[in-house]
Structure 1
Amino acid sequence: MLDANRSGTATASPRAAATGLAVPAAVLTPPLPRPGAVARCRRALGSPHARLSLLFALLAGAGAAVLVFEPQRLLTHGWPPQLGGLAAAVVFTLAYGLCTVAFVPRPLLNLAAGALFGSQLGLTTALAGTVLGAGVAFGLGRVLGQDALRPLLRGRWLRAADGQLSRHGFRSMLAARLFPGVPFWAANYCAAVSRMRWWPFLLATALGSIPNTAAYAVAGARASAPTSPAFLIAMASIAAPALAGAVIAWRKRHHLRSRQAPAGSAAPPSPATGPRARGNDRS
């Protein structure tokens, strides 16, 4: 509304002025820019399934590299002559760790460590390579695979393994390393997908791998004398944990089957309560 002042001019009232100056907030707020192609690609590559695909690609590349370079030739051709001493041990440790990530069996690598460096240095390099390879596999599985694989843990056995590793990580991994039954790479990636922490995993791997690694290193160092007491003791140390692991796995499986029996299933009739016994009672 217009108010007349003393000079005769008309002025707008404060309410009208406020109403006239009010601008919608949508006009003042600029539209948000749409994400560009780079941002969309970054978001797609950062998704859990994209990271899982990258993990599979890395593992496939590592396996192909093993098939091309054939690290098992170390047992037959020996170590390159230009490498020796501490440099050879460091290079072998790095190669050992990468080979375990690429699914090369650890017994083969442990035998090569003993044959190339002897019992003591072979055990040291093999253990260092074991911890290195386990740490690399655990890190790859945790960063690239955990977010995509955890929603898939729906089976009874998968949930039981995940709960065991998440709640009792150290002792579960220690048992897996002491008794050879679970493949080395499988234990690494299962622990990575679970909620197990880094330090219990690495410590259990280091401690649990000592007996088996030492036995293989001694066997590799004394392979030229298969009738020597050291070689025979090493072979017995390899066979004993394998047999004990098989017995424990069989008993655990039998125990789990008995616990998973349906609660409503009727027990088989005993001789005293069977149909013949009931007929005798009626007579």
Structure 2
Amino acid sequence: MLDATNRSGGTATASPRASAAQLTATTGVAVPATPHTATPTVGLTARCARILLSPWSRLSLLVALLAAAASAMLLLEPQRLLTDGLPSQLGGAAAVVAYAVAYGVCTVAFVPRPILNLAAGALFGSQLGLGGALGGTVLGAGLAFCLGRALGQDALRPLLRGRWLKAADHQLSRHGFRSMLAARLFPGVPFAASNYCAAVSRMGLLPFLLATGLGSIPNTAAYVVAGARASTPTSPAFLIALACITVPGLVGAVVAWRKRHRLRTR
């Protein structure tokens, strides 16, 4: 409400509650409206969101998740599958699928794949064990790749400044399928390291999964067969599987030693 015209001065005065529009209509003089200032809470929320979504915050979250998963695996002791077996309520195809899912989660938590492959053979035999182990391998690699791509790529890519790091990134980004296939076939390349290196590069998810599935067949099959025939260590199948595990490992160790020796001599 506007007050009446001031009887002493004859000018219209507005009460403190009068709006800018009412003053303009009454006096004929344009009065600018007072701008609404943003509340401090909105600004604080925006700053917190920027900090939480920053590359280094996401990388810290990834490290925390992986550390928590590895700690959980130490407490759960998945290697007991070799002695205790699966729960009695699981059987048939459901048991294989459940094992593949557990296998994938365990690989993300840095459980060694040889233990899981041996357990797959001991629990399900050669054929079903190989299917479950390969399924878990691809699942675990995909989970690690997606976590690394979503939480770690933006923070780690600016750190790729060394000559060897740039060369590896260029190889994975330009020739992803071929490079990852070779990494899976070569026994000396750590599984988890190759997952996160591929995630930091610009390699696509589909070539990564295809190369992982195909390249993991020989080594995985050798461990699964060894686990399935562990009760008969003198059988030809067990001895062949043991040779397929030992010989590539020795070759990989020799190649790695020679590469390291050449780098030192340069």
TM norm structure 1: 0.78
In 1, the alpha carbon distance for the partners of 2:202 and 2:246 equals 32
Question: Does residue 1:215 correspond to 2:228, yes or no?
Answer: no
AA paired with 2:233?
P
AA paired with 1:87?
A
AA paired with 2:212?
T
Check conservation: 1:179, 1:244, Cα contact below 8 A. no
AA paired with 2:108?
V
Check conservation: 1:66, 1:99, Cα contact below 8 A. yes
Deviation of 1:161 (Å): 1.5
In structure 1, the residue corresponding to 2:89 is in which secondary structure? coil
AA paired with 1:59?
L
Pairwise mapping of residues 148-187 of structure 1 onto structure 2 (< 5 A)?
148-187=155-194
Q: Alpha-carbon deviations, 1:103-124, whole Å to 9, x = none?
A: 0000000000000000000000
Aligned to 2:38: 33
Aligned to 1:17: none
In structure 1, the residue corresponding to 2:169 is in which secondary structure? helix
Task: Call closer, same or farther: CA 1:51–1:29 in 2, change over 3 Å.
Answer: farther
Task: Call closer, same or farther: CA 1:206–1:181 in 2, change over 3 Å.
Answer: same
TM norm structure 2: 0.82
Pairwise mapping of residues 44-63 of structure 1 onto structure 2 (< 5 A)?
44-63=51-70
AA paired with 2:38?
P
Q: Alpha-carbon deviations, 1:137-188, whole Å to 9, x = none?
A: 0000000000001111122222221122112211111111111111100000
Q: Alpha-carbon deviations, 1:204-253, whole Å to 9, x = none?
A: 10000000000000000000000000000001111222233234445555
Deviation of 1:30 (Å): 4.5
Deviation of 1:50 (Å): 0.6
Task: Call closer, same or farther: CA 1:239–1:32 in 2, change over 3 Å.
Answer: farther
AA paired with 2:46?
A
Aligned to 2:22: none
Aligned to 2:6: none
**Higher deviation after alignment, 29-38 or 130-139:** 29-38
Question: What is the alpha-carbon root mean square deviation over aligned residues?
Answer: 2.3
Aligned to 1:86: 93
Figure out how many residues of one structure are paired with residues of the other and give that number.
237
AA paired with 1:80?
P
In 2, the alpha carbon distance for the partners of 1:51 and 1:185 equals 19
Aligned to 1:109: 116
In structure 2, the residue corresponding to 1:36 is in which secondary structure? helix
In structure 1, the residue corresponding to 2:189 is in which secondary structure? coil
**Match for 1:134 among 141, 149, 162?**
141
Check conservation: 1:123, 1:214, Cα contact below 8 A. yes
Check conservation: 1:131, 1:206, Cα contact below 8 A. yes
Aligned to 2:3: none
In 2, the alpha carbon distance for the partners of 1:30 and 1:212 equals 69
* Runs of 5+ unmatched residues, structure 2: 1-27
In 1, the alpha carbon distance for the partners of 2:34 and 2:170 equals 50
Deviation of 1:46 (Å): 0.7
Check conservation: 1:178, 1:241, Cα contact below 8 A. no
* Runs of 5+ unmatched residues, structure 1: 1-20, 262-283
Aligned to 1:192: 199
In 1, the alpha carbon distance for the partners of 2:238 and 2:81 equals 20
In 2, the alpha carbon distance for the partners of 1:251 and 1:166 equals 27
Identity %: 74
In 2, the alpha carbon distance for the partners of 1:51 and 1:196 equals 20
Pick the structure with greater CA Rg. 1
AA paired with 1:43?
R
Question: Does residue 1:121 correspond to 2:150, yes or no?
Answer: no
